[in-house]
């Protein structure tokens, strides 16, 4: 799909025009184009009498034949003006595009709402591009009929700049929107692949392909992993016929004064091991590498985005499978930093591989460490399927990540990290055990991870178990389709750009 910034004169001749209306206002939200506003006044008046009010998710699809535009007109509600923001724009344009499913329109024009400031205008343009691309995403690779009735056929989209002063800001937003959404779709593709395809070795191969884009890489095989003392990764992987891989990507920005390490959980399939899951519980466990997919999605565009910060991307890839050699409850594993871990539950495996990844990252001495992991069902119980939880003792780091998530429309909620709860995972025979009691499981999992981070380095753990995968599409999230969501790609990109 090709995006361009156009002037008013470029509107005519396209298939679809998308405009927006605030709730309770009988005029389009782009007040700077008086001629179009006048021409659409009668259309809006007619449809408001038929029930269109401009509420979020409201829409009208009708034909318009005028001097300014002749074609399909899509009018989308933005909700109340006081509640409007970047995420509302992203959802609204995604809502508009979703109404074009199965219809072979080739070109569309988007007329953005008025922005109060130039920065907001750039953000609205970025959100519009993201909403269109993410709502148009389809994983049809294995469908013989291509899923035609659900496809979006748009080939070109123009974002209108009403004045020359707007053009530069809109162009910047469009460029970033293309990068952010492409990176997210890259991550979605990785998550949506069957686990028999996206194995630890395949994940490492994908990382290697990214390294050709201005990114350096180190890939460690099973023998090297053993030499480095990564007992957590080795223990989890030993029951599988698929060997583990440890991957370290590096992006360096000339003159950067800060270095961030971002880690993703990379269990390419989680059967639960000997503490095996039910069939239903295993159904979506190809998504247990969503953290690593987010790291790879992010790294796929860093060389183009050029944030002014050095970035390490790290993941420890393994399958968690039952087998004659599989690790067992009661086993004691030693992580890379020398700490020992008693196995209480083989289905609490992600934290064991992350223990080695966090230990490795700490040795690099970055200024900050962030890990993203589909770690606990307890976090989903606490926050539901749409919100990630963040655990950290650094309010400064937490606040910056949360700020980035608000811009990106990927909500994160700060969770408590009380030291007292560490008592729940103290072991009689090792330094720590990999599971505690039922209650507070998301907290104790985060406290477990903290044991493998250098205490001098600010660290945040993001539990993405809920928002990493959509089982059932929701009307209030029109750009999050069934399957992998690519969650945290855009938040991390925004976070890195905030370091500029």
> Out of 91, 351, 450, 494, which one is annotated catalytic?
351
- Separation of alpha carbons 28 and 112, rounded Å: 10
- Separation of alpha carbons 151 and 138, rounded Å: 7
In a 13 Å sphere around the CA of 301, the CA atoms on its Cβ side amount to: 24
**pTM: predicted TM-score of the whole model, two decimal places:** 0.97
For the chain, give the number of residues: 500
The domain 189-497 is placed in CATH, from the list 3.20.10.10, 3.30.70.100, 3.40.5.50, 3.40.630.10, at 3.40.630.10
Q: Which of 178, 136, 160 is nearest to 28 (CA)?
A: 160
In a 13 Å sphere around the CA of 348, the CA atoms on its Cβ side amount to: 24
On whether the CB atoms of residues 76 and 53 are closer than 8 A, the answer is no
Which ranges in the chain are annotated with CATH 3.40.220.10? 2-161
> Out of 277, 306, 400, 406, which one is annotated catalytic?
277
| 2-161, CATH topology level | 3.40.220
Which ranges in the chain are annotated with CATH 3.40.630.10? 189-497
95 by Cβ neighbours in 10 Å (0-12 / 13-18 / 19+) ranks as buried
- Separation of alpha carbons 269 and 194, rounded Å: 9
353 by Cβ neighbours in 10 Å (0-12 / 13-18 / 19+) ranks as buried
Instruction: Count CB-CB contacts under 10 A for residue 164.
Output: 8
pLDDT in tens, the chain (500 residues): 999 999 999 999 999 999 999 999 989 999 889 999 999 999 999 998 899 999 999 999 999 998 899 999 999 999 999 999 999 999 999 999 999 988 889 999 999 999 877 679 999 999 999 999 999 999 999 988 866 667 889 999 999 999 998 999 999 999 999 999 999 999 999 999 999 999 999 999 999 999 888 899 999 999 999 999 999 999 999 999 999 999 999 999 999 999 999 999 999 999 999 999 999 999 999 999 999 999 999 999 999 999 999 999 999 999 999 999 999 999 999 999 999 999 999 999 999 999 999 999 999 999 999 999 999 999 999 999 999 999 999 999 999 999 999 999 999 999 999 999 999 999 999 999 999 988 999 999 999 999 999 999 999 999 999 999 999 898 899 999 999 999 999 999 999 999 98
Active site residue 257: no
Active site residue 277: yes
């Amino acid at each position: 799909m090709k995006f361009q910034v156009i002037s008013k004169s470029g509107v005519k001749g396209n298939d679809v025009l998308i405009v927006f209306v605030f709730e309770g206002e009988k005029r389009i939200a782009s007040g700077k184009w008086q001629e179009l506003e006048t021409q659409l006044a009668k259309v809006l008046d007619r449809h408001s009498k038929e029930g269109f009010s401009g509420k979020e998710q409201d829409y009208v699809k009708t034909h318009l034949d005028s001097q300014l535009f002749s074609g399909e007109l899509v009018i989308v509600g933005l909700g109340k003006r006081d509640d409007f923001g970047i995420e509302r724009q992203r959802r609204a344009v995604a809502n508009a595009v979703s109404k074009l499913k199965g219809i072979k329109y080739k070109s569309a024009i988007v007329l953005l709402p008025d922005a109060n400031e130039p920065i907001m205008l750039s953000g609205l343009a970025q959100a519009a591009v993201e909403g269109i691309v993410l709502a148009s995403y389809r994983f049809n690779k294995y469908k013989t009929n291509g899923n035609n009735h659900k496809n979006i056929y748009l080939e070109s989209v123009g974002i209108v700049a009403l004045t020359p002063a707007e053009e530069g800001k809109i162009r910047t937003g469009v460029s970033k929107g293309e990068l952010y959404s492409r990176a997210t779709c890259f991550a979605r593709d990785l998550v949506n692949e069957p686990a028999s395809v996206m194995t630890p070795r395949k994940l490492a191969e994908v990382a290697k392909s990214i390294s050709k884009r201005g990114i350096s890489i180190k890939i460690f095989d099973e023998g090297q992993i053993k030499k480095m003392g990564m007992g957590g990764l080795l223990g989890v992987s030993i029951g599988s016929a698929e060997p583990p891989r440890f991957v370290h990507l590096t992006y360096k920005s000339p003159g950067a004064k800060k270095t961030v390490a971002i880690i993703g959980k990379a269990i390419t399939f989680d059967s639960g091991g000997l503490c095996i899951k039910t069939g239903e519980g295993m159904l979506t466990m190809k998504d247990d590498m969503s953290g690593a997919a987010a790291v790879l999605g992010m790294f796929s565009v860093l060389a183009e985005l050029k944030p002014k910060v050095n970035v390490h991307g790290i993941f420890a890839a393994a399958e968690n499978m039952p087998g004659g050699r599989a690790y067992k409850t009661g086993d004691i594993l030693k992580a890379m930093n020398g700490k020992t871990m008693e196995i209480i539950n083989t289905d609490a495996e992600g934290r064991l591989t992350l223990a080695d990844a966090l230990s490795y990252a700490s040795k690099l001495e970055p200024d900050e460490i962030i890990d993203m992991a589909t770690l606990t069902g307890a976090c989903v119980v606490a926050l539901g399927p749409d919100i990630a939880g963040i655990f950290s003792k650094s309010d400064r780091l937490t606040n910056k990540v949360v700020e980035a998530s608000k811009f990106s429309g990927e909500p994160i909620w700060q969770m408590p990290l009380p030291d007292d709860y560490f008592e729940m995972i103290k072991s009689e025979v090792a330094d720590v055990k990999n599971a505690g009691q039922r209650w507070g499981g998301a907290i104790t999992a985060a406290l477990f991870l903290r044991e493998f981070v250098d205490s001098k380095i600010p660290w945040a753990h993001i539990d993405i178990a809920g928002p990493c995968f959509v089982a059932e599409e929701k009307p209030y999230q029109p750009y999050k389709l069934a399957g992998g969501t690519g969650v945290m790609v855009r938040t991390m990109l925004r976070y890195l750009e905030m370091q500029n």
